[in-house]
Structure 1
């Protein structure tokens, strides 16, 4: 039991450090920073890459067209080779709902070295630049915005002098698996990229949430967006890093009224969402994969196992260290569950969810080495910069 005790103590030490030394990642009170409305509202172009999004577009696109924005704004939807009539549906929705002007266009198939989404974003930004906007809003086709979303984003960027303001859209949590997996997804993301560190000028931490990114057009040009990140599977984080490296001031926080309408009702849907990019996050490095697996086991699996083992064999040290670590884990997860309006009894189940994420990460690596890479919407990217297969 000595090894179990010391392992449990190690896990507890990590949790004490995470609680106090990781940018208070577990707090969910970081919303749009203080803002005041500008006297003259800058022009904005909204760029929406869309591939086979006919299922979600009726719930998302009308919310963009209905933006209550005092300045000049228009929407560019880039149809990335859809086979389900996404482009025509977008035109029909614009005719039915009115609102902001909508342009629908298609760039054709992406060349080697580009992901399909970023090739579509590149085309959309090129169209937008003909209007000479001050800001670009990059948003996904499954994101629904409150009527004042664009207004508050621009006011926050203008007031704080930010080159990039991003909100992590509230993901859907309706099915059993969504309730178990989705809040943990955001919790783990915040643990990797503490939001409070992201806004620090000159700091190394940079991230954004691809569903909602307001970006100054001149900052995008300085950072060579999207060309500089053209092969990135995790494009939102890569984009934020490029902007920050170019001297940009960035901000990321949780959204109140920006929501994803994409459903993930089954475990396999969520599994595919996580596994398609998990190994890319580890830069396709086997040593990083091993370290991640061991780290997840130490941080999330050891506490409950040590508690049970300590109680079974009568080891007070193992039970106490494991129990305290599990308690800290549970307490830090509660704010995220509250944010997602989920019951508190889900908090002690975080080790189960972490184990699922561990398996998804390993599966992501397995798929990579089997040549399937980051498969999404009929395209497979086996390695950054390489397009192996398009179905």
Structure 2
């Protein structure tokens, strides 16, 4: 669905959800793959064939922090197919309001979403060029502009705000990386909970 993001925190972080699929995952290749590790799913607007759900083990198959991904992987393991479609003209979703909700919502699951190698790659590709551009690097400026274009294209495709938000893409990635560090720290300390339940 189209992400409704108001306030600085949601505007910086929420658009990365659709951007990450559109830019980092070859969706059509992933849809043809039988590998459970190649799934993308969005629990905000999820359509599941009843027979495929039953073969995958029912809703119990989604017993994970990232329940949408767990369910899609179970469907794949049971021989089913999965795919992601642009539902931005059919539905909207406002996940979080304000930094406290954004932070709690992402910290509860980022530890399981991706690891340190992916985080390092994101920093290298989307944060370092912007920092280099600030120091006068032309190569850094080109890297920064490429990041902005990727964000603008994804935002335009999914009906979310393009400008000036896309210009802050390195800040967005930096915030998510900070949330990932906090998520891993809180997970190790046993401090994560979501809606009153321990994670």
TM-score after normalising by structure 2: 0.87
Structure with the bigger RCO (C-alpha within 8 Å, sep 6+) is 2
More strand by share: 1
Q: For residues 47-98 of structure 1, what are the alpha-carbon distances to aligned partners after superposition, in whole Å with 9 as ceiling and x for unaligned?
A: xxxxxxxxxxxxxxxxxxxxxxxxxxxxxxxxxxxxxxxxxxxxxxxxxxxx
Specify every segment of 5 or more residues in structure 2 that has no aligned partner in the other structure, as ranges: none
Q: Does 1:257 align with 2:90?
A: yes
Equivalent position of 2:99 in the other structure:
267
**Distance of 1:198 and 1:345 partners within structure 2:** 31
Equivalent position of 1:307 in the other structure:
133
**Shift of residue 270 of structure 1?**
0.8
**Distance of 2:22 and 2:149 partners within structure 1:** 15
Give the count of matched residue pairs: 196
**Shift of residue 192 of structure 1?**
4.6
Q: 2:172 aligns with which of 347, 353, 361?
A: 353
**Shift of residue 189 of structure 1?**
4.0
SS at match of 1:215: coil
Instruction: Give the alignment's Cα RMSD to 1 decimal.
Output: 2.0
**Distance of 2:174 and 2:5 partners within structure 1:** 20
**Shift of residue 236 of structure 1?**
0.5
Q: Does 1:239 align with 2:71?
A: yes
Equivalent position of 1:216 in the other structure:
49
Q: For residues 196-233 of structure 1, what are the alpha-carbon distances to aligned partners after superposition, in whole Å with 9 as ceiling and x for unaligned?
A: 23321535521221122222222112111233342x11
- The structure-2 alpha-carbon separation of the partners of 1:212 and 1:354, relative to structure 1 and needing over 3 Å to count, comes to same
Q: 1:199 aligns with which of 8, 31, 37?
A: 31
Specify every segment of 5 or more residues in structure 1 that has no aligned partner in the other structure, as ranges: 1-168, 283-287, 312-318, 382-391
SS at match of 1:342: coil
Q: 1:328 aligns with which of 146, 170, 178?
A: 146
- The structure-2 alpha-carbon separation of the partners of 1:322 and 1:300, relative to structure 1 and needing over 3 Å to count, comes to same
More helix by share: 2
**Shift of residue 376 of structure 1?**
0.8
- The structure that has the greater radius of gyration is 1
